[in-house]
Amino acid sequence: MQRLASDFLSNYIFLAIGRVGSSTDLIVQRVEFVHESDKRSHLMDLLHAQKANGVHGKQALTLVFVETKKGADSLEHWLYTNGFPATTIHGDRTQQEREQALRSFKSGNTPILVATDVAARGLDIPHVAHVVNFNLPNDIDDYTGRAYRASWQDGIGHGFL
Protein backbone atom coordinates (compact mmCIF):
# COMPACT_ATOMS: atom_id res chain seq x y z
CA MET A 1 0.00 0.00 0.00
CA GLN A 2 2.87 2.36 0.81
CA ARG A 3 4.51 1.66 -2.56
CA LEU A 4 1.25 2.37 -4.33
CA ALA A 5 0.86 5.64 -2.43
CA SER A 6 4.41 6.70 -3.30
CA ASP A 7 3.79 5.91 -7.00
CA PHE A 8 0.80 8.25 -7.20
CA LEU A 9 1.34 10.84 -4.46
CA SER A 10 4.11 13.19 -3.52
CA ASN A 11 4.68 13.87 0.17
CA TYR A 12 2.08 11.37 1.28
CA ILE A 13 1.63 10.76 5.00
CA PHE A 14 1.74 7.25 6.43
CA LEU A 15 -0.55 6.86 9.42
CA ALA A 16 -0.51 3.58 11.31
CA ILE A 17 -3.24 2.49 13.68
CA GLY A 18 -2.25 -0.40 15.89
CA ARG A 19 1.07 -2.15 15.82
CA VAL A 20 2.82 -2.00 12.46
CA GLY A 21 4.06 -5.43 11.45
CA SER A 22 2.35 -7.23 14.30
CA SER A 23 1.15 -10.67 13.49
CA THR A 24 -2.51 -11.48 13.30
CA ASP A 25 -1.71 -15.18 13.33
CA LEU A 26 -2.61 -15.32 17.01
CA ILE A 27 -6.07 -13.88 16.44
CA VAL A 28 -8.92 -16.30 16.03
CA GLN A 29 -12.36 -15.13 14.95
CA ARG A 30 -15.27 -17.50 15.37
CA VAL A 31 -18.80 -16.82 14.27
CA GLU A 32 -21.49 -19.09 15.63
CA PHE A 33 -25.19 -19.16 14.96
CA VAL A 34 -26.87 -19.05 18.37
CA HIS A 35 -30.60 -18.60 18.84
CA GLU A 36 -31.48 -15.48 20.80
CA SER A 37 -32.83 -17.59 23.66
CA ASP A 38 -29.51 -19.47 23.94
CA LYS A 39 -27.06 -16.55 23.80
CA ARG A 40 -26.72 -16.12 27.56
CA SER A 41 -26.07 -19.79 28.25
CA HIS A 42 -23.60 -19.87 25.36
CA LEU A 43 -21.78 -16.86 26.82
CA MET A 44 -21.84 -18.54 30.23
CA ASP A 45 -20.16 -21.64 28.75
CA LEU A 46 -17.44 -19.46 27.24
CA LEU A 47 -16.86 -17.64 30.53
CA HIS A 48 -16.74 -20.89 32.52
CA ALA A 49 -14.11 -22.22 30.11
CA GLN A 50 -12.09 -19.02 30.49
CA LYS A 51 -12.32 -19.20 34.27
CA ALA A 52 -11.08 -22.79 34.24
CA ASN A 53 -8.11 -21.74 32.09
CA GLY A 54 -7.31 -18.64 34.15
CA VAL A 55 -3.89 -18.04 35.66
CA HIS A 56 -3.78 -18.23 39.47
CA GLY A 57 -7.58 -18.47 39.56
CA LYS A 58 -7.91 -15.12 37.76
CA GLN A 59 -10.31 -14.88 34.87
CA ALA A 60 -9.05 -13.40 31.61
CA LEU A 61 -10.47 -10.04 30.54
CA THR A 62 -13.50 -10.29 28.28
CA LEU A 63 -15.10 -7.43 26.36
CA VAL A 64 -18.74 -8.14 25.41
CA PHE A 65 -20.44 -5.88 22.86
CA VAL A 66 -24.22 -5.51 22.93
CA GLU A 67 -26.57 -3.40 20.86
CA THR A 68 -28.35 -1.26 23.45
CA LYS A 69 -27.72 0.48 26.78
CA LYS A 70 -30.63 -1.42 28.30
CA GLY A 71 -29.17 -4.67 26.98
CA ALA A 72 -25.80 -3.82 28.52
CA ASP A 73 -27.30 -3.18 31.95
CA SER A 74 -29.46 -6.30 31.74
CA LEU A 75 -26.55 -8.55 30.74
CA GLU A 76 -24.29 -7.05 33.41
CA HIS A 77 -26.91 -7.75 36.09
CA TRP A 78 -27.45 -11.30 34.81
CA LEU A 79 -23.70 -12.02 34.77
CA TYR A 80 -23.24 -10.64 38.28
CA THR A 81 -26.20 -12.67 39.56
CA ASN A 82 -24.57 -15.79 38.08
CA GLY A 83 -21.22 -15.23 39.77
CA PHE A 84 -19.33 -13.32 37.09
CA PRO A 85 -18.26 -9.82 38.16
CA ALA A 86 -19.04 -7.46 35.31
CA THR A 87 -19.36 -3.75 34.67
CA THR A 88 -20.78 -1.67 31.83
CA ILE A 89 -19.82 1.25 29.69
CA HIS A 90 -22.44 3.00 27.58
CA GLY A 91 -23.85 6.41 26.73
CA ASP A 92 -26.11 6.72 29.80
CA ARG A 93 -23.20 6.46 32.22
CA THR A 94 -21.41 9.60 33.36
CA GLN A 95 -17.79 10.15 32.43
CA GLN A 96 -16.81 9.38 36.03
CA GLU A 97 -18.79 6.12 35.94
CA ARG A 98 -17.15 5.15 32.64
CA GLU A 99 -13.67 5.85 33.98
CA GLN A 100 -14.38 3.82 37.14
CA ALA A 101 -15.71 0.93 35.03
CA LEU A 102 -12.58 0.98 32.86
CA ARG A 103 -10.28 1.08 35.90
CA SER A 104 -12.10 -1.85 37.46
CA PHE A 105 -11.97 -3.80 34.19
CA LYS A 106 -8.29 -3.10 33.47
CA SER A 107 -7.32 -4.11 37.01
CA GLY A 108 -9.22 -7.38 36.72
CA ASN A 109 -11.55 -6.62 39.62
CA THR A 110 -14.42 -6.92 37.15
CA PRO A 111 -12.96 -9.04 34.34
CA ILE A 112 -16.01 -8.63 32.11
CA LEU A 113 -16.88 -5.33 30.45
CA VAL A 114 -20.27 -5.20 28.75
CA ALA A 115 -20.33 -2.31 26.32
CA THR A 116 -22.26 -0.66 23.55
CA ASP A 117 -20.40 0.68 20.55
CA VAL A 118 -19.36 3.68 22.64
CA ALA A 119 -16.38 1.45 23.52
CA ALA A 120 -15.75 0.15 20.00
CA ARG A 121 -13.46 3.05 19.21
CA GLY A 122 -10.82 4.88 21.12
CA LEU A 123 -10.14 2.44 23.96
CA ASP A 124 -6.76 0.85 24.49
CA ILE A 125 -7.15 -1.94 27.01
CA PRO A 126 -4.24 -4.37 27.20
CA HIS A 127 -4.58 -8.08 27.96
CA VAL A 128 -8.11 -8.59 26.66
CA ALA A 129 -8.41 -12.29 25.89
CA HIS A 130 -11.87 -12.33 24.30
CA VAL A 131 -14.00 -9.85 22.42
CA VAL A 132 -17.56 -11.12 22.09
CA ASN A 133 -20.16 -9.69 19.75
CA PHE A 134 -23.21 -10.70 21.78
CA ASN A 135 -25.28 -8.70 19.29
CA LEU A 136 -23.84 -7.97 15.89
CA PRO A 137 -23.69 -4.28 14.99
CA ASN A 138 -25.86 -2.75 12.29
CA ASP A 139 -23.00 -0.75 10.79
CA ILE A 140 -19.78 -2.03 9.19
CA ASP A 141 -17.77 0.76 10.86
CA ASP A 142 -18.97 -0.42 14.26
CA TYR A 143 -18.05 -4.01 13.38
CA THR A 144 -14.60 -2.85 12.29
CA GLY A 145 -14.15 -0.99 15.57
CA ARG A 146 -15.14 -4.07 17.53
CA ALA A 147 -12.91 -6.35 15.47
CA TYR A 148 -10.07 -3.89 15.96
CA ARG A 149 -10.42 -4.34 19.73
CA ALA A 150 -9.80 -8.06 19.24
CA SER A 151 -6.89 -7.65 16.81
CA TRP A 152 -5.21 -4.97 18.89
CA GLN A 153 -5.20 -7.29 21.89
CA ASP A 154 -4.12 -10.45 20.04
CA GLY A 155 -7.23 -12.01 21.48
CA ILE A 156 -10.08 -14.09 20.24
CA GLY A 157 -13.15 -12.61 18.63
CA HIS A 158 -16.48 -14.35 19.03
CA GLY A 159 -19.66 -13.47 17.18
CA PHE A 160 -23.04 -14.78 18.21
CA LEU A 161 -25.54 -14.51 15.36
Helices (H), the chain: 2-8, 39-52, 69-81, 95-107, 140-152
Query: Does residue 11 belong to any structural domain of this protein?
Result: no
User: Over the stretch 58-105, which tens digit does the pLDDT of each residue have?
Assistant: 678 888 989 899 999 999 999 999 999 999 999 899 989 999 999 999
* Domain contains 15: no
CA–CA distance, 133 with 152 (Å, rounded to integer): 16
Of 160 and 143, the one with more pLDDT: 143
Tens of pLDDT, residue by residue over 100-128, are 999 999 898 999 999 988 766 666 677 78
Q: Could you tell me the CATH number of the domain that includes residue 105?
A: 3.40.50.300
- Looking at the domain assignment, is residue 9 inside a domain? no
